[in-house]
Structure 1
């Protein structure tokens, strides 16, 4: 460990490799680089302190560089104990960023690093999963008057924030980054779908073709996972508690059934719900010998590993694969049931994160310009930001599209012309 007042990282000597990885990410994130270039000129964040709890990946480092280019002072910690890329954290520390993160944090270390970012006394918070915001509200309420607003990256975080808002517990404005179309229709769908199987395959080196893959949850993330499972040759079963999503999965060509039934058939189980104890001991008792269980939801609560540990004998087989001998059979938990795409792999591809982090960057700019208009609670971002991100991404990919003619615009605005 290398630790000072301004950083706590696993190995500072990894900084050069981290720098190269960040440069590679930048080469894939053209849309965000366009935003960074403008921020360098305009300095919209001069004298602004931004506290971040995100996955410290090479893509997040590009976001950090973008915010700093705009004049911000940044402190960052992880939003998951296993998601830090240690070479990237080292590179950020060497660049002068206040970074407190390493892969394999204990729960106590995780919250200690959150505390360091909070003690930085940020004016703006950027969160993924709402741990930073929750910690501030529960243990540092005296800092809330100095916080202008926050951003929330993910579905789980938005759900928690709306629960806080409903209880009257949320005391400052938060911008819902996840609700941007350019975020949840791409990051959640294409990003989660690909990176989940990147993590599963790296953890196990298993062949997906011919396997029965049970996807628990059919929101945008679950839809992406199911699509990629099918594309890799897997037979997909979807489990759901939402009637609309269950019907959608059926119409998309998947089998749909209760999880207690799917438990008997599955070879690979992936939870993507954002809920607790989705896979419980009752389901594990029904499972075949040798099944793999992975989680692609934000927290490690979806698979009830705590109860499994009390009832089973565990041994580590591979770095991100634990074998549990339970009821005469072996169950394999991947990545400690934490986010498999970040525990065992590198998270979403850079190109899709360019859109998500354009959203984060432009939302901070929007929040600063409109800080007196934001309501305490969860705030939606204007459609113009979504449209701008889509155009920036298309430009960076070298894609052109048609525009409406004057006649077409006039027709779309009229009502008189019919059959």
Structure 2
């Protein structure tokens, strides 16, 4: 355990600090929130926007509108970047594709890319046009719908993804958070171009958007460039807040089956406090007590044996059957553990994982455990700020939730005590949720 902890510290010490200078924050006349940060390490400008369009804003009839709009944004921006900017600009992701990199979370949608400093004005103008003003066409809708349906169908072919969907249904009940974020083929087919235009006009507005730019320029220069590009976007009223979800009050289990499975697949978890709650840093640390080669779940050889899996050591090293899922930025996040088990061992797997989770309500963390868990959380914050576009996304997300930058996040993690971990677990672990996928031949007789 000490060698793993030491490796974590080495990675932490090598990672540069993303918040060595002050983050500038301002609001344009149309309501756009602008963050700017000067990075001495940046060679390009990273630009990111978070739009407060929530899955709760979609009705059952328009489920998937955000996914379609994001897909259209990705496609249209790719063509625009290739046409208007040099090859060094608009590059996103490790594959180096051009255009805006987009993502759809439950609470928000986001887009990001990088541009050369010499083309900053052109890059920002393109971003503003693509995000708020580009014309939506039937051709774009058809192409985006086809890609989104294919994405949905691919996800349904993944037993692990379906297990995760079952877990979300158990955790979130009848709320919108339990629904697929990209919609389903039926809802996607029913959405019209007029529906999408109305949704974008309501929710993709400056007053509902947080934009961040990270560049080698002084923050005054960067903010002025944003103002030139986005200041002319028409002001529209901020949309209504997303309705508060009504979540289950009791523990629930959702079960499915799949012919693609040989072993059972389980996701077991509990709610966590909102990421803008002052006690959320303790929840981050608490999760890392369980995760990784030095975490409690990996050290429990009795639990590993109880799974009923005959796995050679080589496979265990590469594909350990118990993994803690990453905690996502959300208003209603969760701690979740995915595990494989022999069909006959699903109850032993469920009970074994929950035993570790519930032990966090009263059991104290050792000094080594607490230090290791904090180092892993701090590393995660550092790794989120390695590239300009990553840093811009990180800061825009945190601003959306009313949070400050990485320095403040890390200071909050460093202040967490073992008693704080117990307090979070006692308050939030009163109910749990389980999603189970069984091999089809076993589903009827095991549950």
Please, what TM-score do these two structures have when normalized by structure 2? 0.22
When normalised by structure 1's length, the TM-score is 0.23
